[in-house]
Amino acid sequence: MARNFENYYRFPSIFSAILVPIGMALTTVVAFAPELLRVEILGPLGIFLSNLEKSNSTLMTITAVSAWSMHVFEAIYAYHLCKSLKIKKNLRIIWSFQTFIYGIFSLIYLLKKTKENKKSN
């Protein structure tokens, strides 16, 4: 008998909830608006990011676009997984938004439930 996941929701760890948005923001700033980077506030990290942008600006742009693209596709896939698990529509939207922000650290919970659901069938 298939398990009922219609109310399933889980927030990612606090570690990923803090680091992923900061990492995405810094990657985006370095790639597209390096003038906004405040080296004096970020200290050694700011110096590293500034040097990274100066020496590898194309690579940083590719990295930022790739990261955002992966988050978009992960969010779409999260919606699909929610639908296959028969999770309520409002929670599907929350899962998709959460996965857009936190990426794989959110999606992993849905992947585990999908695997669990397949085993129970």
> Is 26 part of any domain?
yes
Q: Does some domain include residue 103?
A: yes
Q: Is residue 61 in some structural domain? A: yes
pLDDT value at position 68? 98
Can you give the pLDDT at residue 3?
A: 66
Residue 2 falls inside a structural domain: no
Is 4 inside a domain boundary? no
Number of domains in the chain: 1
- 7 occurs within a structural domain: no
Query: What pLDDT, on the 0 to 100 scale, is given for residue 1?
Result: 40
Residue 51 lies in a domain: yes
Q: What's the pLDDT score for residue 62? A: 95
Q: What does the chain look like in DSSP terms, one character per residue? A: -PPP-TT---PPPHHHHHHHHHHHHHHHHHHH-GGG--HHHHTHHHHHHHHHHHH-HHHHHHHHHHHHHHHHHHHHHHHHHHHHTT--HHHHHHHHHHHHHHTHHHHHHHHHHHHHHHHH-
> Over its length of 121 residues, how does the chain's per-residue pLDDT go in tens digits?
456 778 889 999 999 999 999 999 999 999 998 888 888 888 898 888 888 888 988 999 999 999 999 999 999 999 999 999 999 999 999 999 999 999 999 999 999 999 988 887 6
Domain holding 107, by residue range, is 14-120
In a domain, 3, yes or no: no
